[in-house]
Chain A
Amino acid sequence: MTAPVGRRSLEARVSLVLKVGTYAAMALVGLGVALMLASGRSPLDVAPVLDPGSLAADLAALRPSGFLWLGILIVLATPPLRVATALSGYLRAGERQMAVVALLILAVIALGVVVGTSGS
């Protein structure tokens, strides 16, 4: 028995988000690793902390940390984006229960960000 068309198309959209996020992240991380190795840096060196304000400048200057941080941020953002995609699909389909579930997942992730930021 196959799933309803609406459900399958939602799964296809969610799958696309996962694919695009993964490959974009891996391209950036791969570039960052290549730059890191080319510049003679070791994985055991002290790495610069994440500074969102300097990310664009680091990328423009081809600093490995910029590519690595952006890639890692995309990795971490991909699952919440997948949930947000599902949320929009459930809202369009009028599936309120599943939309509430998706919203609660995003709330838990957001709470993690708030708690992580406030405690650091």
Chain B
Amino acid sequence: MEIGLLLIAGGIATGLFGSLLGLGGGVLLVPLLTLGFDLPVREAIGVSLVCVIITSAASASVFLDRGMANLRLGMVLELFTAIGALIGGLVAFLLDERFLAGLFALLLVYTAATMLRPRDASAGDGVGGPDADGRGDVAGTVRSRIGEAVSGAGYLVRQPVPGAIGGVGGGILSALLGIGGGLIMVPVMHLLMGVPLRVATATSNVMIGVTASTSALVYLLKGGIDPYATGPAAVGVFVGAAVGSRVVHRVDTRLLRLLFAAVLAYTAILMVQRALVVQ
């Protein structure tokens, strides 16, 4: 019973800090399960995928209610993230656990680096990347019917083809590492496709469910999801994320980001050690 309660508490912490720091739960949950509870990496990824779907579905419904997410763009892109997730879900069972642990260590280093980077000053202004409104230099703008069909109020979606390729890559990484894929898809949508950051973040949240469920179904059918480990983690992450979303506006996350960058860097070292010793 103690381990179950500890796992719920760990899930709460993961959901809470993930919500406060704008990280998907997977980045924190997979190391917690592998290093803290000694679960095999692949099993931890299966647990994480289920938790990621739960938290993204809960927040996606809010984003859709508020009209913040671009459902049409999300659906076009998630076709490609789902293809990537299918490929990644199958490849994950062919790879050595040590490789997955090493890959996750790289993800942690990347995430720590992004947390140390100064936040984009235009993050909250609803303005996309260059040419976000569809005017100005149109040389790089693919004014395809798809791009226009999925554009939103005040912005034109650019470069749908590179965006789709980015989607496949995001889906593969999501399936291999048990993350939502927002770390890839938000920059792809914002910087590459000219989608305003808030819309990109909300749309990414909507997409995560389909991406993660595609690979999670492969994990499930190949015996990669353990209900006893998944249940307490899911309850904890759900509660933690709900609390985090309510207090995020009252917390100064600058110091928290610095601390977590250090924690993630240290965790990356532990994951590298695991990559070197796992049978």
Which of A's residues lie within 8 Å of B, judged by CB? 1-3, 7-8, 10-12, 14-16, 18-19, 21-22, 25-26, 29-30, 32-33, 36-37, 40-45, 47-50, 64-65, 68-69, 71-72, 75-80, 82-83, 86, 97-98, 101-102, 104-105, 108-109, 111-113, 115-117, 119-120
Contacts and interface: CB of A to CB of B under 8 A. Distances in A.
Nearest to A33: B231
Interface residues of B, number: 62
Interface stretch (B21-29, B76-84, B129-137): B76-84
A10 B70 CA distance: 12
Contacts of A3: 67, 153
Interface in B6-53: 7-8, 37-39, 50, 53
A78 B41 CA distance: 25
A113 B4 contact: no
22 contacts: A1-B153, A11-B64, A18-B61, A19-B58, A29-B235, A37-B4, A43-B7, A43-B37, A44-B39, A50-B227, A68-B230, A72-B50, A72-B220, A72-B230, A79-B210, A82-B57, A83-B210, A109-B217, A113-B221, A116-B222, A119-B90, A120-B223
Contacts of A117: 221
Given A108-B86, A113-B221, 13 more contacts: A18-B64, A25-B54, A29-B234, A33-B4, A42-B1, A42-B4, A68-B231, A76-B53, A76-B217, A86-B75, A98-B149, A112-B214, A116-B218
A2 B58 CA distance: 23
B36 to A, nearest CB: 11
Main secondary structure of the interface of B (DSSP, over half): helix
Contact of B213 (A22, A76, A120): A76
Contacts of A30: 235
B213 A33 contact: no
Given A43-B228, A68-B230, A101-B75, A82 B222 contact: no
A70 B149 CA distance: 38
Interface string B158-174: 00000000000000000
Contact of A108 (B83, B223, B225): B83
Contacts of B154: 1
Interface string B168-209: 000000000000000000000000000000000000000001
A45 B86 CA distance: 29
Of A3, A11, A115, most buried by chain B (CB within 10 Å of CB) is A11
A112 B89 contact: yes
Main secondary structure of the interface of A (DSSP, over half): helix
Contact of B86 (A22, A29, A33, A111): A111
A10 B212 CA distance: 22
Contacts of B1: 37, 40, 42
Interface of B: 1, 3-5, 7-8, 37-39, 50, 53-54, 57-58, 60-62, 64-65, 67, 69, 71-72, 75-76, 78-79, 82-83, 85-86, 89-90, 93, 149, 153-154, 209-210, 212-218, 220-223, 225-235, 238
